[in-house]
Amino acid sequence: MARTKPTIPELKHLDHVLVSETAIRRRVSALAEQINRAYRGKDLTVIAVVNGALIFTADLLRQMRSPLRLDCIRASSYHAGTAATGKPVIIDNLKLDIAGQHLLLVDDILDTGNTLSAVKELLLAKKAASVRTCVLLDKKARRVVPFEAEYVGFEIPNEFVVGYGLDFNERYRNLPCIGVLKPKFYSGTV
Ligand code: IMP
Ligand code: MG
């Protein structure tokens, strides 16, 4: 029997889809394969930057073949609407001892670079053996701090996107694709 997918009313808030659900699925598989090859035979610790990286990490992990452990770190950039202001606040509530461990830092998007460079610095200060970064999206045009991720899903233009873990004012994280909201849904909140 054919199953129909539940409809998500908030999909109607999108002006356009930038990355479809199918494109995400294919790219996540390819990234996992690349990471599997790089870490073959190595013990790996994945550090997800939550909340944004939650959905991406969940999908990526299920295709990773190395023996691994998972921990999360919380970062927030005090977003007011679509503009991140100042330095990110990192809440270091890591449970695992990461000293001497090979780490894969996973986030939803690399934007100004402030968050990932601060998190990476923190992880290195805790004596990680190595830290590589994997992001689903990269908005290169927005970079303020020099930072490059070793594994990148998609380079995207300088537009504020939602879906697949990414939010606008904590909404839209559950959309299965990545898209740009209609202007009226961004307005009045910045
Ligand atoms: P940074 O500017 O590289 O420090 O990125 C900070 C955080 O801002 C990211 O981890 C995301 O959570 C968020 N962010 C940046 N760009 C977008 C976007 O287009 N949509 C949703 N969240 C974003
Ligand atoms: Mg984030």
Q: How far apart are the CA of 29 and the centre of ligand 1, in A?
A: 23
Chain centroid to Cα 151, Å, comes to 11
Give the domain ranges of the chain.
Answer: 23-158
> What pLDDT score was predicted for residue 5?
77
Contact 172, 163 (CB under 8 A): yes
Rounded Cα–Cα distance for residues 84 and 77 (Å): 6
Q: What is the pLDDT of residue 187?
A: 81
Upstream peptide bond of 169 is cis (omega within 30 degrees of 0): no
Collapsing DSSP to helix, strand or coil, 140 comes out as: helix
pTM, full prediction: 0.94
Res 6: pLDDT? 76
Name the fold adopted by 23-158. Answer: Rossmann fold (3.40.50)
Q: What residues contact 138, with CB distance under 8 A and at least 6 apart?
A: 109, 110, 149, 152, 153, 154, 155, 156
Is residue 161 within 6 Å of ligand 1 at its C-beta?
Answer: yes
101 touches ligand 1 (CB under 6 Å): no
Q: Phi-psi region for residue 118, left (φ > 0), alpha (ψ -120 to 50) or beta?
A: alpha
Instruction: Give pLDDT, residue 153.
Output: 98
The number of the ligand 1 atom at minimal distance from the alpha carbon of 139 is 16
How many whole angstroms separate alpha carbon 56 and alpha carbon 156?
16
Is residue 28 in contact with ligand 1, taking CB distance under 6 Å? no
CA 77 from centre of chain: 14
Q: What is the pLDDT of residue 79?
A: 57
Please list the ranges in the chain whose pLDDT falls under 70.
1-2, 78-86, 188-190
Cβ < 5 A residues, ion ligand 2: 52
Which residue's CA is the closest to the ligand 1 atom numbered 15? Answer: 111
Name the residues annotated as catalytic.
111
Helix ranges (H only) for 39-113 are 54-61
104 closest CA partner among 75, 84, 133, 79 = 133
The pick from 18, 77, 78, 120 for probing ligand 1's pocket by mutation, whose C-beta has the most ligand atoms within 8 angstroms, reads: 77
CA torsion through residues 22, 29, 67, 113, sign: negative
| pLDDT of amino acid 190 | 45
